[in-house]
Structures are given as structure tokens and as C-alpha cells.
Amino acid sequence: MSLRSVDNESTATPADADATSKFLHRVVDVGLDFKHQPDIFRTRLQPERVRDLLVFELPRESRPLDAVLESFERTILPLCKNEASPRFLGFGDTGDDPASLAGGLLALFTQQNLINQSFDSPSATFVEIAVLRWLRDLLGYGNPPVADIRTVWDVGGVITHGGTTSNATAMMLAREHKAPETMHGGVRNPEQFGVIVPRGIGHYSIKSALNWVGVGDQAIEVDTHGFRYDLAALERALRRHHGQIMAVIAYAGDSRTQTVEHLRQVHDVVRAADPRIWLHVDACWGLVAAFSDQLRHQLDGITEFDSVTVDPHKVMAVPYSLSALLVRQPSSLRAVSSYSDLIMQEDYAFGQVTPFIGTKGWLSLKLWMMMLTHGRDGLAALAEQRVSKARRFAALLDEHPQLLRLHDPDLAAVAFVYLPTGIRPEPPVSEHQIERINAVNQRIHERTLAEGTWFLHQFSLPDDHAFLRAGATLYPLRFMANNPRTTEAHMAEVLDYVAKLGGDLEGDIQ
Ligand SMILES: *Cc1c(COP(=O)(O)O)cnc(C)c1O
């Protein structure tokens, strides 16, 4: 059989139903085989080689669909990274929950557009509303009775494509809260839009968002201790910049060590200094703590914040992409609403309350399916398993004399460094020794990436507990416990691998 997409404009016409169905079943098998492969990569090539292989002009002649699939499988797929490999310990989630994959596929097939409701997404809009309410409920934000959901401004949240868009929307809300109608009149006196962020551990999306919403470089970095705000420093910054602060950002799980901020304390300090400041929590990682009665205490105080970003595509086993911005007061989204005769001005049109996004697919269906199949109990188990796996990894790591853990894990991340022979974790180690530690850990990461057998993440990180040297910037390796296929044996193996590589590479470092 050979399907040609040229003779019949659409292969998905009823006449071709059988052939299309067979073909798409094959595609599902290709996808699952990919996820089930043990390796992260089947093939590793330099970027220029991949460029020269894949960047070509569109041929004139048509090709059978079979042939295109075959060419994809042969040349492109082996180069793709497989986050579901048990050796992929690097980032967020593997996106392999079967229910969420089903939701993702059905969203493709149904082609709903969440921009409007009445004709574009008659039921999808309400699935999206249900999911937003479930997320709100897990965090502890209240929900009005269903009968009182009369418009999108009664829901208290929006689905976006990622934490970056959610954070950018939050910064627009903060800007409008500080100086109403800036959206229409333009930015005046940009220095009134200061935003406090924790030094060295913030996510770049906040600074980018401030640039995008036109207030410029207004981030004010405040010192941290143990990857949380130094509250005395926060108080001083609020006093020093009084009247010039539009928002304070707190991380429920920063993107490096996933340390959860003491939210209630930050709230109390900020509100005492200036009750009009917009309080935003970036809970891209911290959402997971909301699933479990054992972990939820870490988020104490979150419901006092004006807005919360969550990133289910990082912590809920759903395929990319899916984020939500939730707001304490649902009506606050009016401040960033768009009115257009292209978006229906109907009560349930999400296009009105989702800045930066026009046409939007049914992103929330994969989460709806995932949450319904797990239920509250399943979500709690998922969160608890991940956190206990991170603690187990930490315990294994502590048995290695040359590996040093840089924090106690709150959630699923564990950051650590290899210490070259002769360097003891007794502060303060010299600046020269910090350079050696960083050089060897960067080599370890480079080598690991090039070999492709394991994947650990790397980034800069302040030595915020002063385990080595107060004020030093380290380049640690990071393990992430979000992968259900990673076993204890894998954890022990990767630690041995890092220790061995460190031993092999430390001789190259001066
Ligand atoms: C990943 C991340 C973001 C950005 O989210 P995307 O989904 O990548 O757009 C924002 N904040 C934190 C803390 C993150 O870890």
C-alpha cells in the first residue's frame, strides 16, 4: 500500500479511512518504540553534520507518505533525544503517561480552537475550565460554584504553552495593577515597575517578560540564603525602592535545586512593606507538592499570592506543551483582556483573556485525561514517589566520598559536584580550588553529553549554603527524579560513572 497525499488532497477522507487508519496505527507504534528504547540517543552527530543532512530544498515531486515516514524513521528519529530513557536524568518529565498521550492525540484529531467557544470549541472550553479549577483546587485557591461560571473572567486562570508565557502574562497583570491602563497608554516612568527576584536562582523568563512587556530591565536581585530569600535583605530592598516595586517573585521550586520558598514569610514581609505589590509564585516545579497531604505544607501561604504559574508539562507526565497561570482574583484578568471583532465577544471565549496567544489547540485535554485516570490518590502517589526517589539518590550520593551534595532536596532535584582529589569539603576552599572544581565538573558534563549514555543537567549555582566557599558560583551536575523508569540500580550506576569520569578527567585540570 502506498498513500499519496497529492492525488487526493486529504488522506483523511472517508474513502481512505482504512489506509489512513493502518498508517496512523503504524505511526503510534513508531512513537511507542521510540519511547521504549533504552537509550537516550541512537545516533550522535555534530550539529553541523545534522544541519547538512537535514536542511535541504523542498523537492518538486511528491512522495508517498510511507516513504516520508520511512525517511523520518531512518534519518531523524535516531538523532532525537528520548526523555523516557531510564538514563535521562536531566530535565522535567518524560511525557509518557498513556492517558495524556491519548489526550494529545485526540486534541490533534478534533482540531478544536480554544480562542472562541460557541462554534470553535463547544465542549473543549469547558474541559479547559474544569482542568483549571482542578489545578486551583489542588493549590488551595477557592472556586466559585459551577453555576456562577458565567464568563472567562469567573474562571481564575488561563492555559498557555509554557511557563514563560504564563510568567509574561503575570508580569502584565502586575504592570496594570501598578499603573492601570498602561496597556493602552503605554509605559511611563519605567522605574516604577521594579520587580524583586532572588539573586542567582531566578528563571530568565521573568527578566525576559519585563523586556517584552515594555518596562525594561527592572529586575532587582535580592540576596538569598539556602536558595531562599534572605528576609532581612528583602525587607531592606523593599524599603530602599519604596513605591518603585510592582511585583515580588517567589519560587516554589526554583529551576536549579527546586528549593521551595518560605512563601508565607515572604508574603508577610512584602505585605507589611507595601500591600499593593503584586505577589507572584513561580510554581513550575512546586505544583507537585500540592498533590500530596505529606508535601503540601511546603506551599503554605501560596493562596495569599496574586498569581501562580504552574507547568504540568514539567511535572505531570504530559507531553509538551502545557502551562497555566492561575490568579487569586478571577476578575483580575480583565486588566489584560483583548477586544476584537475577530475574537467573538462571547462570554466563554478564552481568546479574550490570553495575551500573546490567538489560535490555541486543545492543550488541556491531555491533562484532563491524565488527572482523571490518576485521581487525587494517584497524583499523591506520583508526587511522593518522586520525592522519595530524590531522597534515595541523595543518600546514595552521600556515600561517595568525592561527591558533594549542595542542598537538601525539597522536591525531585538533587544538585551535586565532583571534588577533585585533595579538595576537602571544608569551607572556605580557595578560589583556585573552586575553579578546579568547576573545570572538572564542566568536563564531566561535556563528556557525558558527548557520550550520550547518561543525561544530567548543568548550570551555574551560587554556593548558597557555603559548603565550599560563601559567594562562590559553582557548576554542579543535577539529577532529576521525575523519570518512572529510573531505578535504584540506575542511580547507583550514574553516580559511579560520574565518580569514575571525574577521576579520569581531573588530571587534565591545573
Ligand atoms: C521551566 C521554567 C520556566 C519556563 O517554563 P517553560 O515551560 O519552559 O516556558 C519558568 N520558571 C521556572 C522556575 C522554570 O523551571
- Reported confidence tier of residue 339, pLDDT bands at 50, 70, 90: confident
Distance 323 CA to ligand 1 centre (A): 9
3-class state of residue 246 by DSSP = strand
Mean pLDDT in residue range 409-430:
96
The ligand 1 atom at the shortest distance from the C-alpha of residue 167 is: 10
Q: Which helix (H) or strand (E) holds 279?
A: strand 278-282
Give pLDDT, residue 6. 46
205 CB within 6 A, ligand 1: yes
169 CB within 6 A, ligand 1: no
483 CB within 6 A, ligand 1: no
Closest CA to 131 of 469, 371, 343, 437: 371
282 CB within 6 A, ligand 1: yes
In this structure, the residue with its CA closest to atom 4 of ligand 1 is 163
476 pLDDT higher than 90: yes
The rounded mean pLDDT for the chain is 95
Express each pLDDT in 424-453 by its tens digit.
999 999 999 999 999 999 999 999 988 888
Tell me which of 159, 164, 259 to substitute to probe ligand 1's pocket, judged by most ligand atoms within 8 Å of the beta carbon. 164
Q: What is the DSSP string of 132-199?
A: HHHHHHHHT-----GGG--SGGGT-EEEESSHHHHHHHHHHHHHHHHSTTHHHH----GGGGEEEEET
474 pLDDT higher than 90: yes
The bridge status of strand 413-418 relative to strand 403-405 is antiparallel
pTM, entire model: 0.95
Distance 285 CA to ligand 1 centre (A): 8
Mean pLDDT in residue range 297-303:
98
Which residue has 525539597 as its cell numbers? Answer: 410
Return d(Cα 351, Cα 361) in angstroms, integer.
11
Give pLDDT, residue 508. 86
Residue 144 contacts residue 132 (beta carbons within 8 Å): no
203 CB within 6 A, ligand 1: yes
Distance 358 CA to ligand 1 centre (A): 21
Mean pLDDT in residue range 328-332:
97
- Helix ranges (DSSP H) in 426-487: 431-451
- Helix ranges (DSSP H) in 457-508: 488-505
Q: What's the CATH code, domain 102-372?
A: 3.40.640.10
User: 357: how many CB neighbours lie within 10 A of its CB?
Assistant: 17
- DSSP character at residue 208: H
Return d(Cα 222, Cα 303) in angstroms, integer.
23
Return d(Cα 337, Cα 351) in angstroms, integer.
9
φ/ψ of 506, rounded to 5, equals -65, -25
Give pLDDT, residue 248. 98
419 CB within 6 A, ligand 1: no
Q: Report the share of the chain in percent with pLDDT over 90.
A: 91
Return d(Cα 196, Cα 297) in angstroms, integer.
24
Q: Across the strands, what pairs with 224?
A: 229
Q: Does a cis peptide bond (omega within 30 degrees of 0) precede residue 321? A: yes
Distance 436 CA to ligand 1 centre (A): 30
1 pLDDT higher than 50: no
Return d(Cα 368, Cα 336) in angstroms, integer.
26
Mean pLDDT in residue range 115-131:
96
Distance 41 CA to ligand 1 centre (A): 24
Give pLDDT, residue 506. 93
Give pLDDT, residue 470. 94
Give pLDDT, residue 82. 94
Residue 270 contacts residue 248 (beta carbons within 8 Å): yes
- DSSP character at residue 304: G
Distance 284 CA to ligand 1 centre (A): 6
Mean pLDDT in residue range 47-56:
97
In this structure, the residue with its CA closest to atom 10 of ligand 1 is 163
Mean pLDDT in residue range 379-386:
97
Q: Which helix (H) or strand (E) holds 99?
A: helix 98-110
Residue 366 contacts residue 127 (beta carbons within 8 Å): no
**Boundaries of every domain in the chain:** 15-83, 102-372
Separation in Å, CA 445 to CA 242, 422, 435, 478, 501? 43, 21, 15, 10, 10
In this structure, the residue with its CA closest to atom 3 of ligand 1 is 163
162 CB within 6 A, ligand 1: yes
